[in-house]
Each structure stands twice: as structure tokens, then as C-alpha cells.
Amino acid sequence: MKALVYTRPLGVEIQERPYPQLPEGGDQVVIRIAAAGICGSDMHAFHGKDPRRQPGLVLGHELSGEIVESQSPRFTPGQRVTANPLITCGQCDYCREGRDNLCSDRHMIGMDWPGAFAEYMAIPAASVVALPDGLSLQDAAITEPAATVVHALRLTQQAMQMPLADARVLVIGGGAIGLLTVLVLRAWGCRQITLAETNPLRANTAQQYTGCECVNPIEQAIDESSRQVVIDAVGSAITRKLAIKTVKPGGVVMHIGLQDWDSEIDMRKITLGEITLLGTYTYTMEDFHLTLSMLEQGAFGTLGWIEQRELLDGQLAFDDLEFQRVSSAKILLIP
């Protein structure tokens, strides 16, 4: 089968890889991939900055497709599915608490398990979720990044002293996670949303599909201590500094992005202002199912901001994202 393989920093290439073989006595399925999205973490690996993702790996963990082989009674060939890319043990304290995203023995496709930038992929049946009839395979491929946002905003609401819908919110970053954050906030009744984005192509896309206020923080200052909630969907040293500067005393900063791993932050303001600084990692299966239901109900509106390209053109797609030559917040690769 054909697969897009990460071969070196800034390099991916199409290679022939063996068709996935299911282990004897296992509980896995083989999925024929219909669409797989390029995530920010795939870009991080592409830059050679993720020690967990080494050359020789098939990246990709945002996916949809059809079952072609199944060892599980829950799935039969021909079923349309998506998948939670987290492979969890189901037995540790976190899994038993329903916080399976923090599993002590977790694995993840596209990281330490062959990913979805391929014609076929094997995965444990426990991670697979059947699609509702009314949801297209292309739209279903964004379940995973959207679930990341749903999980983050549910955590944010838990930490707040007011309804999220009533808050004045700043979202930093107009990529897929930032754009989806605005769309989920809108779906949950929040109307006071500003998106900070420096790429004019992405800013225009965000305005077109969300109607939110967009500002370029390089050109337009954002008032200090002016937002009850700040969502950092970039995760760089600069955006972390902006997030802490912008949040009001008593507010919440939700940190989703992981562009840079280290930076200084204003701990004095966090301490004196009783600011809650939260991190978030992926989602639980409950979040995943909730997100799929929201997609089925059209809660994210039209998804015209998603671009589709052939898997064979994967290197160009990565390059276009790298050099900010696209207005789309998400590129799906189609085998």
C-alpha cells in the first residue's frame, strides 16, 4: 500500500509499506482511510522538533474511513468509522476514572503506532467509533481536532466563576484549533469573541466562516487585562506572554498549543490576580462522542474552510502549510 512517510526534517515522501496484518487473537480492525487531516503536531514532527515522532514514521491521527477487516463483533466490513487515535490500557486509575486521555500506558497512532497518512491502517477496535448516516467521511475527519477543543472548553468552564457564554474571550491563533474554538464557543452561546491571527489569509477565512472580530496582534494592540478567558491555540513563547498579559484578574488561560516547549511567564500576575492557567491534552471518549454528535447536528456550521488534497501531494501540502501559502485552516489528505 502507499503511505506518506516522514523521512527527515521538512521531508515526507510516498513509500510502499506492507498492508497491515492483524495479530492472531487480537481485537483490532483495518480501516481503508478516506481522509486524514494534517495536525499542528504533524507539523511539529515535520520540523524535526518532536522526539516522540522519529523519521520512518507514518504520521496522521485525524481520520475517517471504512472497515475492511475486523476481529471485533462490534464492527463489520463496509462500516463507516472514525477513530480516537489514543490507544489506552483501560485498566489504570485514569482509565477507570474516565480520564483515559491521561492513561499511564497510552499509545497514539501517528506517534508510536503507524498513522493514517496511508491507504490502510490498523487500530484496536476499542478506539473506533461508528459514524452516523448523515455525516460525510470528509467532515468526520475533523472529529479529532474538534474533540480537542470541546475537551479544552469543558475544562475551561469548570474553572470559571461565570458562564462561558457570558465571558469576553480572546482566541490566539487562527489555525484549525483556533477556528474550531471560535465555532464551539459560538455553538455554546458565546458572542464576545476576538481572534488574534497574524496571517491575513487565515484571518480572512476565520471572518468568513465565524463572523468573529479578527485582529493582527503585531499591528493592533489588545488591551491588557481585558478578557475573562484567553485560549492559546498556538503555544509559543510570544503567545503565552500575550495570553497572560490579556487575561483579567480571576480569569482563565487555557493553553492548547505546543509550538514551543519552554518560556518565561508572568507568575507575579498569575499569583496576584488569582488567574487559573490550565493545560489540556486531547480528550476523553465522552468528549469524542459529544463532538461527533455536534458535527452530526451541524453545530460547526459549514465546513468550507477545509481543503482536500491527494495523499500523493503530501509534500506540497506540508510545504504550503510551512510557508503559510494557504488560507485553509485544515488540509485533508485523500489516499
pLDDT 10s digits, 103-113: 999 999 999 99
CATH class label, 2-142+303-334 = alpha beta
pLDDT 10s digits, 30-42: 999 999 999 988 9
- Which of 81, 70, 55, 88 minimizes the C-alpha distance to 20? 70
Residue 262 has pLDDT above 90, yes or no: no
Cα separation of 156 and 280, whole Å?
10
What pLDDT score was predicted for residue 260? 76
What pLDDT score was predicted for residue 329? 87
User: Whose grid coordinates read 503536531?
Assistant: 41
Confidence of residue 47 (pLDDT cuts 50, 70, 90): confident
pLDDT 10s digits, 130-189: 999 989 999 999 999 999 999 999 999 999 999 999 999 999 999 999 999 999 999 999
Q: How far is CA 269 from CA 158, 224, 250, in A?
A: 21, 12, 10
What pLDDT score was predicted for residue 103? 92
Q: Which helix (H) or strand (E) holds 68?
A: strand 62-70
CATH 3.40.50.720 fits 147-279, yes or no: yes
What pLDDT score was predicted for residue 332? 97
pLDDT 10s digits, 74-93: 999 999 999 999 999 989 99
What pLDDT score was predicted for residue 51? 82
What pLDDT score was predicted for residue 45? 87
Confidence of residue 50 (pLDDT cuts 50, 70, 90): confident
DSSP letters spanning 217-286: TTTS---TT-EEEEEESS--HHHHHHHHHHEEEEEEEEE---S-S-----HHHHHHTT-EEEE--S--HH
Q: Which helix (H) or strand (E) holds 103?
A: none
Q: Which helix (H) or strand (E) holds 62?
A: strand 62-70
Helix (H, G, I), strand (E, B) or coil at 122: strand
**Percent of the chain topping pLDDT 70:** 100
Cα separation of 220 and 78, whole Å?
52
Comma-separated ranges of CATH 3.40.50.720 domains in the chain: 147-279
Cα separation of 163 and 167, whole Å?
7
Residue 326 has pLDDT above 80, yes or no: yes
Confidence of residue 328 (pLDDT cuts 50, 70, 90): confident
Grid cell for residue 6 = 516522514
Residue 314 has pLDDT above 90, yes or no: yes
Q: How far is CA 330 from CA 109, 317, 333, in A?
A: 19, 10, 10
Confidence of residue 263 (pLDDT cuts 50, 70, 90): confident
Comma-separated ranges of CATH 3.90.180.10 domains in the chain: 2-142+303-334
**Percent of the chain topping pLDDT 90:** 84
Average pLDDT over every residue of 222-228: 96
What pLDDT score was predicted for residue 102? 92
Average pLDDT over every residue of 281-294: 95
Average pLDDT over every residue of 47-74: 93
